[in-house]
Structure 1
């Protein structure tokens, strides 16, 4: 993705990259730790170089996980808060111990959605979220599909502590934005007016990886995404149109999804 945007001529200072390496240090400011991912997202909101209405793209490639709502909310007569699940993206330092000796949690969809809503309030709603991981919502010629469990972008939840992922989210949000909406509210619902999300697969599917001829491994979704963009997307293509193009390229292995109030907007919110 970075090379694609570089080739488009996007200035380097407009791209912020967090990249994990096998021998990378968790204390490196560019390491995709939970703290660095959260800080980078909040920095978008506070960056004076980003003007209201600018097109903002947030891309995550890695593992995803999920947590059952019944672990957080008790079942009550007539209630529904205990139903369903909380989806999450996995930072590179998940399950390591923080400064207080507690396991570092994943980043829940509730936390991510709330942060993007806060960005929208300052920078506008021209925001695209791209998630190449499991629980985010054809093998190309010259590639082999890696379909074994070790090559699925899915990880089990971090620890069994019932308060882990949502309480960590609430604490982090209040740290960066006192008064932010609580993700622990039983009537919480996602704000889909703030962005459009392109997800690697549907909830009941797994995001898979492919190995290219050069030996490099990439998400099948990211590979299809970049291939489609480089092949020349029509200037009149909407997010829905683009997702349909990806579905054809990725069938039958997984089905990408698109959601958001502005999903019928032109890709990257172009104006005509």
Structure 2
């Protein structure tokens, strides 16, 4: 039976190699982006054409902005309320803000930027916090606020002795020698030119953002990477695979991520919708490979909503699960072997006590053996009405389907 299309769309960006020789290269951002892509594809079952991936030299400022428009804002396949995931792994930085960048009540300051592949080359200043805010507002106006922005970067970490020692493993680069305040202003997203920002805003301090931001660390902290990936991305993906995401909020997800990283780096999640289920539960649709089961009499005797007409026979084995949602962790909590079969349901005994209501998935058909049936009257009526032999009726009713 065909499963419904997962309504998730992603823009995934990873940059290790930078065009400017003044920007240190990284070593695992591309790998992180590919891991996120695999998670979306294999775990959440997102179709390939719903994910746009930009790696290294493909992730120029122009390409990022155009992909944002083409793949997300102007994508007619995205319906309002569909889940949108934007992932960025690469350098972050800060740049001196020009006059007029902030509100009139603000005096001086710096802007935070995401470093595109061509950051620092011929005046390219990357994607500023002010630009991203305007971009995401435009996206939210068009497609709704079910938007998750995941940033594995950092911005102006404090130059403490430990941070200096970790410089080579930190996803941050200075901008003083490669970007000017004039470059920052020239690179603004068109809609952002009409707005100003509060001083000290940055990516993690936006006012009422119409999206949920998942950031590797707060301002002044460092985002660390190793050969196996960014600490934040690794912790995020590990948590996502360990957690029943269909019932988890962003806040509860953060509570599980932080202990995996430790005190050296503190991720922050901000936005009006952090108490919502992850991706507003859009990817976690019912999986039709699971069938309803319920206990009767005691916590180990089960009635399963699958019977002889579906190919079930005595000895058919099921695994039992707490839910039936795709893309959400769902380990087996027990096994059951069928003992009695009826046309559209069956009985069995679980290996362990289970909840009153659970879900069954076929593990082994066992069609080589015999079966018990409690429908003589029904079979007799079918035989009389059709004139077919009992053997042919039995064969047609209990032949295991090929799906």
Distance 1:38 1:160, change over 3 A: closer
Distance 1:85 1:50, change over 3 A: same
Give the 5 Å matches for 1:50-199: 50-69=78-97, 71-73=98-100, 80-97=105-122, 103-135=123-155, 148-157=166-175, 159=178, 161-169=180-188, 173-174=189-190, 180-182=191-193, 185=196, 190=206, 192-199=208-215
What's the CA shift for 1:40?
A: 1.1
Distance 1:240 1:85, change over 3 A: farther
The structure 2 residue matched to 1:40, chosen from 55, 62, 67, is: 67
**TM-score, length basis structure 1:** 0.78
CA shift digits 1:16-48 (9 cap, x unpaired): 00011xxxxx4xxxx000100111112211000
- Please give the secondary structure, in 1, of the residue aligned with 2:113: strand
* Structure 2: gaps spanning 5 or more residues: 1-35, 158-164, 285-403
Is the contact made by 2:251 and 2:274 (CA closer than 8 Å) also made in structure 1? yes
Distance 1:75 1:243, change over 3 A: closer
Question: What is the aligned partner in structure 2 of residue 141 from structure 1?
Answer: none
What's the CA shift for 1:184?
A: 5.8
Confirm or deny that 1:2 pairs with 2:22.
no
CA shift digits 1:158-194 (9 cap, x unpaired): 635221113311xxx33xxxxx242663669745341
Is the contact made by 2:96 and 2:181 (CA closer than 8 Å) also made in structure 1? no
CA distance in structure 2 between the partners assigned to 1:233 and 1:254 by the alignment: 25
Distance 1:115 1:191, change over 3 A: farther
- Please give the secondary structure, in 1, of the residue aligned with 2:136: helix
Give the 5 Å matches for 1:209-228: 209-212=225-228, 218-228=229-239
- Please give the secondary structure, in 2, of the residue aligned with 1:197: strand
CA shift digits 1:225-269 (9 cap, x unpaired): 111111233532211111121111111220000100111111111
CA distance in structure 2 between the partners assigned to 1:54 and 1:131 by the alignment: 20
CA distance in structure 1 between the partners assigned to 2:101 and 2:88 by the alignment: 32
CA RMSD of aligned residues (A): 2.7
Is the contact made by 1:136 and 1:202 (CA closer than 8 Å) also made in structure 2? no
- Please give the secondary structure, in 2, of the residue aligned with 1:164: helix
CA distance in structure 2 between the partners assigned to 1:75 and 1:265 by the alignment: 31
CA shift digits 1:126-177 (9 cap, x unpaired): 000000000299xxxxxxxxx62111000112635221113311xxx33xxx
Confirm or deny that 1:11 pairs with 2:27.
no
Distance 1:258 1:186, change over 3 A: closer
What's the CA shift for 1:207?
A: 0.3
CA shift digits 1:107-137 (9 cap, x unpaired): 1011011001001111011000000000299
**TM-score, length basis structure 2:** 0.54
CA distance in structure 2 between the partners assigned to 1:233 and 1:75 by the alignment: 42
- Determine which structure has greater relative contact order: mean sequence separation of CA pairs < 8 Å that are 6+ residues apart, divided by chain length: 1
CA distance in structure 2 between the partners assigned to 1:249 and 1:203 by the alignment: 20
CA distance in structure 1 between the partners assigned to 2:101 and 2:86 by the alignment: 34
Is the contact made by 1:166 and 1:183 (CA closer than 8 Å) also made in structure 2? no
* Structure 1: gaps spanning 5 or more residues: 21-25, 98-102, 138-146, 175-179, 213-217
Q: Name the structure where strand makes up a greater proportion of residues.
A: 2
CA distance in structure 2 between the partners assigned to 1:252 and 1:75 by the alignment: 33
CA distance in structure 2 between the partners assigned to 1:261 and 1:242 by the alignment: 16
CA distance in structure 1 between the partners assigned to 2:74 and 2:120 by the alignment: 29
Alignment coverage as a number of residue pairs? 234
